Amino acid sequence: NAGVTQTPKFQVLKTGQSMTLQCAQDMNHEYMSWYRQDPGMGLRLIHYSVGAGITDQGEVPNGYNVSRSTTEDFPLRLLSAAPSQTSVYFCASNRQGGNTEAFFGQGTRLTVV
């Protein structure tokens, strides 16, 4: 029972490099989202998707791109990494509905130097 799987768990990038954080879920959830977690700021929504082919911006979308070609996968792309993107990133999924539980991946700790 995999749930939400994120890779990699740790990553160090140089300023200007690009990379993709992978996220996959096996629960057939319609809704997927990416958050970043920074000390004292809780989790902030970067991008989300309500289904395959549909994505939208969250609270802090600048510097990140997403796509949703399948129900299962929701990768997050950093096109040109900046030190301000040093953070812990979490992917989450849930069924659509007003009271459904969100399931989170283990997180990716990203450091941009």
Partner 1 sequence: GNSVTQMEGPVTLSEEAFLTINCTYTATGYPSLFWYVQYPGEGLQLLLKATKADDKGSNKGFEATYRKETTSFHLEKGSVQVSDSAVYFCALLANDYKLSFGAGTTVTVRA
Residues that bind partner 1 (CB under 8 A): 4, 31, 33, 35, 40-45, 48, 50, 58, 90, 92, 96-102, 104-107
Could you tell me the smallest distance in angstroms from the CB atom of residue 78 to partner 1?
20
Nearer to partner 1, 17 or 43 (CB): 43
Cβ neighbours of residue 46 closer than 8 Å, sequence gap 6 or more: 33, 34, 35, 36, 58, 59, 60, 61, 64, 66, 76, 89
Could you tell me the smallest distance in angstroms from the CB atom of residue 81 to partner 1?
22
Nearer to partner 1, 41 or 79 (CB): 41
Question: 42 in the Ramachandran plot: left (φ > 0), alpha (ψ -120 to 50) or beta?
Answer: left
Could you tell me the smallest distance in angstroms from the CB atom of residue 85 to partner 1?
19
96 phi, psi to nearest 5 deg: -70, 140
